[in-house]
């Protein structure tokens, strides 16, 4: 007589601590507090730093007379314009390079060539060719964002698993459907990483871009303050650029998380 062994219940699935969702906000607050405390300690130790209180007072003065708002808006518009145009162009060129071998052969040498040239090195040429209005400032930021994002987009397209593309073709999908339903979603995480890097490059280029005969902007204000050794104003500009860049990066990250909900997270 055969003995029937009762089925062994599967072990309860446990959630790894690394996968357990948790808020990083307390750690962020601790990190910020520690950074401000270190800044205060360095200023108290005799380094030529203004204290956080002095910077806050100067920021209040600049906010009261409207200088800080005008400069922040001017810089933000330049960065947004250059970043949006640069990212859009990078996505188009990156998809073309990844999808068509002909486009890859035509574009890749020039992209690699210009990637070795810092965008700031283009300032004299841009100034001569485009004048001293807003166009050269936006163009330099555009170039920084484009070169930072295009390679990531291209890498995303060529990294799409061939199995997914073949499976879509077996199911009868044409090139357009494969591109829209397989390649674009699979490349989105790479594109978002490239855009975040491009956003950082855009803000990093801002101060130099505003050297081109700018009348307002955070970079322009910092350059003017340098002439008078006005350290609190310089620090106000640094903190403002950092805060605006951080907020834009968080917004981009939040939008990216919504677009890639399907992606497995770790």
Mean confidence (pLDDT) of the chain: 82
How many C-beta atoms surround the C-beta of residue 37 within 10 A?
11
How many C-beta atoms surround the C-beta of residue 147 within 10 A?
22
pLDDT band per the 50, 70, 90 thresholds, residue 6:
very low
Query: pTM of the full predicted structure?
Result: 0.81
Residues 15/265, Cβ–Cβ less than 8 Å:
no
Q: Spell out the CATH class of 71-259.
A: mainly alpha
Q: Tens digits of per-residue pLDDT, 181-211?
A: 778 888 888 889 899 999 998 998 888 888 7
Q: What average pLDDT score do residues 126-131 get?
A: 80
Q: Tens digits of per-residue pLDDT, 165-182?
A: 778 777 777 777 777 777
User: What's residue 20's pLDDT?
Assistant: 45
Q: Tens digits of per-residue pLDDT, 18-48?
A: 444 467 778 888 888 998 899 888 888 878 8
């Amino acid at each position: 007589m055969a003995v029937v062994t009762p089925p062994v219940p599967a072990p309860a699935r446990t959630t790894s601590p690394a996968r357990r969702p948790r808020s990083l906000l307390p750690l962020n607050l601790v990190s910020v507090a520690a950074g401000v405390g270190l800044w205060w300690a360095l200023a108290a130790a005799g380094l030529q730093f203004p204290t956080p209180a002095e910077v806050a007072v100067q920021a209040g003065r600049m906010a009261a007379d409207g200088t800080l708002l005008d400069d922040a808006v001017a810089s933000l518009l330049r960065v947004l314009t250059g970043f949006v145009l640069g990212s859009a162009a990078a996505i188009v060129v990156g998809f073309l390079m990844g999808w068509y071998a002909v486009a890859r052969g035509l574009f890749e040498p020039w992209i690699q060539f210009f990637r070795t040239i810092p965008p700031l090195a283009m300032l004299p040429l841009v100034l001569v060719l485009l004048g001293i209005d807003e166009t050269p400032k936006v163009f330099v930021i555009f170039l920084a964002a484009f070169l930072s994002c295009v390679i990531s987009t291209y890498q995303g397209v060529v990294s799409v698993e061939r199995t997914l593309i073949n499976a879509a073709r077996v199911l009868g999908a044409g090139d357009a459907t494969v591109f829209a339903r397989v390649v674009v979603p699979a490349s989105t995480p790479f594109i978002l990483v490239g855009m975040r890097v491009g956003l950082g490059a855009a803000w990093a280029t801002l101060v130099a871009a505003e050297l081109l005969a700018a009348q307002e902007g955070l970079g322009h204000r910092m350059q003017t303050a340098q002439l008078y050794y006005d350290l609190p104003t310089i620090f106000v500009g640094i903190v403002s650029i950092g805060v605006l860049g951080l907020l834009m990066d968080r917004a981009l990250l939040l939008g990216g998380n919504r677009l890639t909900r399907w992606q497995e997270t770790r």
